[in-house]
Amino acid sequence: MRDRNRSLGVTLLEMMFSLAILAVVTSIAVPGFTNLQQDSQRTVAVNNFIHALYLARSEAIKRGSVVSICKSTDGLTCASAGEWNGGWMVFANDDTDELPQRDAGEAVINVYEGWAGGHITSNRAAYSFRPYTQSVVNGTLVFCDRRGSAYARAIIISHTGRPRVAQRDSNNKPLKCNAV
């Protein structure tokens, strides 16, 4: 026979104990999720730039003309100053400008949003790919967020235009980040 007077709820002590356990687990998990989120955002930015590099290389070969990547915040013109984190675009550089500037009539192939979670620095103002020659495309882009140099990633571009992602610079030295 069932005891009809017995409560089906929980006591205050049981509820407080459960909340204490939840608070401890949450305080352990939240910093890990924050790092995971920042790693994910950095990875998206790095992968977007690698996509732009491969796109520019293949379009240069397909079109038989120079294709450039430049900093761009509006997706129509190249920005001459600032970092790459404002965005970038790939365009057909038909008149082979050095320093590349998109002129009227030059096709925009793709536009990439910037990275609000950090900053992207490069030792080059733009990258141009030629269809048949290997012409000084090499450079390094460093992706940094507020966590600093220990969490930075670099895209190192060879003279043939092939990118690779690294945690150290081309001289195998630690990456350097400015304060974000």
Mean pLDDT of 25-42: 82
Q: Using CA atoms, how far apart are residues 142 and 38, in angstroms rounded to an integer?
A: 15
Is residue 24 situated within a structural domain?
yes
- Run of H or E residues at 90: strand 87-92
Residue 178 pLDDT exceeds 80: no
Q: Is residue 67 part of a domain?
A: yes
Residue 94: give its domain's CATH number.
Answer: 3.55.40
First to last CA, the chain: 69
pLDDT tens column, 39-86: 999 999 999 999 999 999 999 999 999 999 999 999 899 988 778 989
Q: What is the domain count for the chain?
A: 1
**Residue-level pLDDT at 2:** 58
Residue 180 scores a pLDDT above 60? no
Q: What is the pLDDT of residue 169?
A: 87
Instruction: Say how far apart CA 52 and CA 68 lie, in whole Å.
Output: 10
The residue with greater pLDDT, 26 or 100, is 100
What's the rounded Cα separation, in Å, for the pair 89 and 133? 22
